Amino acid sequence: MSWDPWMSYALDWANLLLRWAHVITAIAWVGASFYFVWLDNSLTPPEDAALRDKGVGGELWAVHGGGFYHPQKYLGAPPRLPAHLHWFYWESYATWLTGFGLFTVLYLFQAGTFLVDKTVHDWSPLAAAGTALGFLAGFWLAYDLICRSLGRRRWLGVSGDAWVGAAVFAVVVAGAWLACQLFAGRAAFLLVGAMIATAMSANVFFWIIPGQRQVVAALRAGQPVDPVHGQRGKQRSVHNTYFVLPVLVAMLSNHHAWLTGAPHNWLVLVLMMLGAALVRQFFVARHKTAVAGRPAPWRWLLAGLLPPLAVLLWLAPTPTTAPPSVAQAGETPAKTAAQLEARAQAIVAQRCVLCHNARLAHKGVRLDAPEAVRTHAQAIYQQAVVLQAMPLNNATQITADERAALGRWFQAGVVAP
């Protein structure tokens, strides 16, 4: 009895459950993060003198779900610190843990399939897996060093935050370029998103929560509060809100092989993430203009849409002449159809049966018989020709001419058994 099908089945279940948990916890984390950014930018000075006397610097009245809410923000600490404080951190930790678990099950455990594309870089699965982990740790170390060394300095009339933003962007670009030189396209995109997401969660773990704990401990002990903790926490929280949409772009891209497999795919990824960050800037700025009664900052939204538009135009298929008739001069339609069928069957046997056979039957699909190939013709055309997502990471080296041949075979009208 072979255990391969059972192992594949178990990995599929692990993939499903971890992905499900990852999405749920990410929604909770991102939702809380976006809410507090919106809340912080939507507060107005309190109208009640009693609130001002208590040290409240901003308030907001809201209605949701049939109830009225009145959140308030203190300029410093409240006169009396309550015994119970709600801390927002498990959402972050759970998101990273489930994401890393999913990355381990899908990419590290199956590095030879998902990380390695020998046409990109021919190396061992173990080396690829180790290097992928190095990307996660390396980006955090570089990012953290940039924040600590540049964040509080002003050079050439430019604020430290601007220098940090420029330096972090440069590191992301370098990481995207290097990942796309080493890993399969899908893996490279996801890895860049994962390294940024790791920095986001590390911000919470190493800086935001420890700083908040020190502030609370000082207040409870009646000691003065060092303002650096609030400054650092604010800096990292702001970075996290701008990281979110670029991370989501990178994570969702693995469903679109025409992005991950594009020429100069590293530049495609950079442009898509840049557009996402600029769109986030529009929403952050929009919160402030809404409170001030000013027009929405549409320039930021326009700036955010331009990079994806550039990618759309760049990757658009070039116009081609109409394809030749199925039947060439001197050939009958039946003869030509038979030639297309024979060619398609040969391509599938060489490029697809390795993973879709009686022993493996990846995703429950077998393509080791002519009838099965015709039955799955729609899926073959969609995955191998339109999306070019299969073979995964082009592990069997299917060529552009072979994809085109499969397209002509399908478009000629495949007769299912």
In a domain, 128, yes or no: yes
**Where is the domain boundary, 286, 315, 344?**
315
Task: Pick the more confident residue, 370 or 274.
Answer: 274
Mean pLDDT throughout 307-323?
A: 79
> How high is the pLDDT of residue 5?
66
Residue 308 lies in a domain: yes
Residue 247 and residue 357 in one domain:
no
Nearest to 172 by CA among 103, 244, 246, 282: 246
Residues 224 and 269 in one domain: yes
**41 is a domain residue:** no
Q: 260 and 371 share a domain?
A: no
Tell me, yes or no, whether 294 and 357 share the same domain: no
In a domain, 398, yes or no: yes
The Cβ of residue 204 has, within 10 Å, a number of other Cβ atoms equal to 25
Task: Kindly report the pTM of this predicted structure.
Answer: 0.83
- Choosing from 315, 342, 370, the residue where a domain stops is 315
pLDDT mean over 113-138: 94
Total structural domains within the chain:
2
Inter-residue long-range contacts of 274-277, CB under 8 Å, 24+ positions, other chains counted = 274/169, 274/246, 274/307, 275/249, 275/304, 275/305, 275/306, 275/307, 275/308, 276/245, 276/246, 276/248, 276/249, 276/304, 277/242, 277/243, 277/245, 277/246, 277/304
35-89 confidence digits (pLDDT tens)? 999 999 999 999 999 999 999 999 999 999 999 999 999 988 888 888 889 999 9
On whether both 384 and 254 belong to a single domain, the answer is no
Q: What is the DSSP letter of 155?
A: B
Shared domain check, 355 and 243: no
Can you give the pLDDT at residue 6? Answer: 74
Asked if residue 391 has a cis previous peptide bond (ω within 30° of 0), the answer is yes
> In this predicted model, what pLDDT tens digit does every residue of 241-271 receive, in sequence order?
999 999 999 999 988 888 998 899 999 999 9
Is a pLDDT exceeding 50 seen at residue 126? Answer: yes
Query: DSSP for 189-247?
Result: HHHHHHHHHHHHHHIIIIIIHHHHHHHHHHHHTTPPPPTHHHHHHHHHHHHHHHHHHHH
340, 289: one domain? no
Mean pLDDT of 212-236: 91
Domain membership of residue 272 as a residue range = 119-315
Residue 308 shares a structural domain with residue 342: no
Both 220 and 248 in a single domain?
A: yes
Q: Do 123 and 215 share a structural domain?
A: yes
pLDDT exceeds 80 at position 335 = no
pLDDT at 1: 38
Residue-wise pLDDT for 142-189, tens only, equals: 999 999 998 777 777 788 899 999 999 999 999 999 999 999 999 999
